[in-house]
Amino acid sequence: MTNFLNWLETKFMPPLAKLSEQKHLKAIRDGVISTLSLIIIGCFFLVIGNPPIASWAEAIAPYAAQIAIPFRITTGLMSLYAAYGMGYSLSKSYKLDGVTGGVLSLATFLMLTVPVNVDASLPEGEAIGWVLPMGNLGGSGMFSAILAMIFAVEVLRLFKQKNLMIKMPEQVPDSVARSFEALIPGTFVIVFVWIIRILLGFDINQILINIFTPLNNILGNNLIGVLLPVVLITMLWAAGVHGVSVIGSIVRPMWLVMLEANGQAMVSGTPSNELPYIAPEQFYQWLVWIGGSGATLSLCILLLFTKSAYLKQVGRFSIIPSIFNINEPLIFGTPIVMNPILAIPFVVAPSVTTTISYFAVKFGVINGFSVNAPWTLPAPIGAFLSAGNDWKAAALVLINMTIAGLIYYPFVKVYDKKMVEEEHSEMEDKKNMQVDTAAV
Amino acid sequence: MKVIMVCSGGMSSAIVVKAIKAEAAKQDFELDMIAVGSGAVEEELKDGDYKLLLVAPQVKHQFGTFEKYANENDVPIEKVEPMGYTPIGAPKTLELIKKYR
């Protein structure tokens, strides 16, 4: 086990950690994170629009479309915001102007969407002119947004390196000079995408969706694919590294695509227990990471009843943060990191609860996840909201907590015994020392 | 003394910072300390005259990046050891901070 932990620290962690530090992936992570507050707000309206009580649902049915609008504008357009955020972030990391990079990324992304004129299909006198179809501006456009962002900012960088920019004289204010700086690279980017998308008619968005759909299906709907992030994240944590921040920065775009697909399915009337994807991030957040990565709320409760004075204290100071899913003090305090005894249940317990939860969602016992509730909510509440107001999801949280507790229990017992022995021998040492000094 | 601590989202370090501040108050040590997430640390370092940047153990894989930011602003940088990253470990981490007084 100790060898395994050493292997984690020296071989497994560094390449993954390096990957998460890669400039483009970092830009994707920061850009995507910048949209999360909007997604939470939009999902809030999804909760209102789909109340758990049938009579309420009936009462608000006539307004359902209006209630869903904030959802459509926030979550439904998430790739739009992400395109700007990612472009901003990547430009910043290259020491280019962030706003310029953000705006150019956004425009490049929009260029992939062909505006249509719907006047012909409207009654006379209701002409609204050109509209952008929203379908690909939400989660399903995320990969186009990423591609557009990388292309736009890399061109910007290349042109700046080669000095292909319009330089303004010193007296011109910075903000004006900047907009001129983007003229040549911006023109190149827009014309290039125009040729590809409009003249040649390549639907890049569709091609990317075709490439990524099988991958989404594995990560979202296949037991092995669903388990994979759990194992990777807990193994990283066992080596002392924030697993979600590493794995999440790679997988989160796909998780968001799944969440949005589920949300859209729900708005368009799909039953909540038949949503297209089993495992967007919320699946893990609420059913598996109860108390934080490793399902440590169960561990924390067990620690409260340990004999070791130290472990009991760790349990006490960790219990409140744990309820709100913050568990670093517990992970480093117990410690779980590089601890051959506790690392085993830390990986096994969430893997087991993931499997149980996977089948619970797959067979429609509980609702699928369509709402992004803030991750610091206590798990039963978060699960209830996130699974479209499903009390059965909250019940599953309690069941999973019990199972995780049973898996942790024997290991905690062993570790507690070891700690008590250490504490005793320390006390003995102190006593002996006192006796020694008294004797002198 | 102004100190900044960076973790992943700035949440867990807030808990640790609170404990360290309480410990500092107990020891009558003047300490102005904040916690930030990894996305905010570069900007924050530019603004304040920090005497030390502490890196939480769970983001040690980003140490190289933080070190670059710290060097750009002439701020010394230290890793917090795992057991120091808990409320009980606060006295230990405070000792580390005091070295840079």
Query: Which pLDDT tens digit goes with each residue over A373-417?
Result: 888 899 999 999 999 889 999 999 999 999 999 999 999 999 999
CA distance readout (Å), B92 to A321, A332, B67: 21, 14, 22
Each residue's pLDDT tens digit, A335-363: 998 888 999 999 999 999 999 999 999 99
Q: What is the pLDDT of residue A195?
A: 95
Residues A226-245, mean pLDDT to the nearest whole number: 91
CA–CA gap between residue A25 and residue A226 (Å, rounded):
21
Structure tokens belonging to residue B72: 């750009």
Q: Is the pLDDT reported for residue B44 higher than 70?
A: yes
Each residue's pLDDT tens digit, A169-196: 878 887 777 778 889 999 999 999 999 9
A contact residues 80-139, partner B, Cβ 8 Å cutoff = none
Decide which of B14 and A91 is more confident: A91
A contact residues 228-267, partner B, Cβ 8 Å cutoff = 237, 240-242, 244-246
Question: What average pLDDT is seen over chain A?
Answer: 90
Residues A38-66, mean pLDDT to the nearest whole number: 85
Specify whether the CB–CB gap between B54 and B97 falls below 8 A: yes
Q: What is the pLDDT of residue A46?
A: 85
Q: Which amino acid is at B66?
A: F
Q: What is the pLDDT of residue A440?
A: 52
Q: How far apart are the first and last CA of chain A?
A: 45
Residues A198-227, mean pLDDT to the nearest whole number: 91
Q: What is the pLDDT of residue A438?
A: 60
Task: Tell me the pLDDT band of A436, cut-offs 50, 70 and 90.
Answer: low
Specify whether the CB–CB gap between A106 and A84 falls below 8 A: yes
CA angle, residues B24, B25, B30, in degrees to nearest 5: 70
Tell me the shortest Cα–Cα distance from B86 to chain A, in angstroms.
5
| CA torsion through residues A151, A157, A161, A165, sign | positive
Query: How many C-beta atoms lie closer than 10 Å to residue A295's C-beta?
Result: 32
A333 CB within 8 Å of a chain B CB? yes
A contact residues 144-203, partner B, Cβ 8 Å cutoff = none
For B6, the enclosing helix (H) or strand (E) is: strand B2-7
Task: Tell me the pLDDT band of B67, cut-offs 50, 70 and 90.
Answer: very high
CA–CA gap between residue A54 and residue A61 (Å, rounded):
10
**CA closest to A27 among chain B residues:** B39
Each residue's pLDDT tens digit, A276-287: 999 999 999 999
Q: What is the pLDDT of residue A439?
A: 58
CA–CA gap between residue A26 and residue A33 (Å, rounded):
10
Q: Is the pLDDT reported for residue B16 higher than 80?
A: yes
Structure tokens belonging to residue A299: 């561990």
CA–CA gap between residue A84 and residue A86 (Å, rounded):
6
A21 CB within 8 Å of a chain B CB? yes
Contact A333 B58 (CB under 8 A): no
Rounded to two decimals, the pTM is 0.85
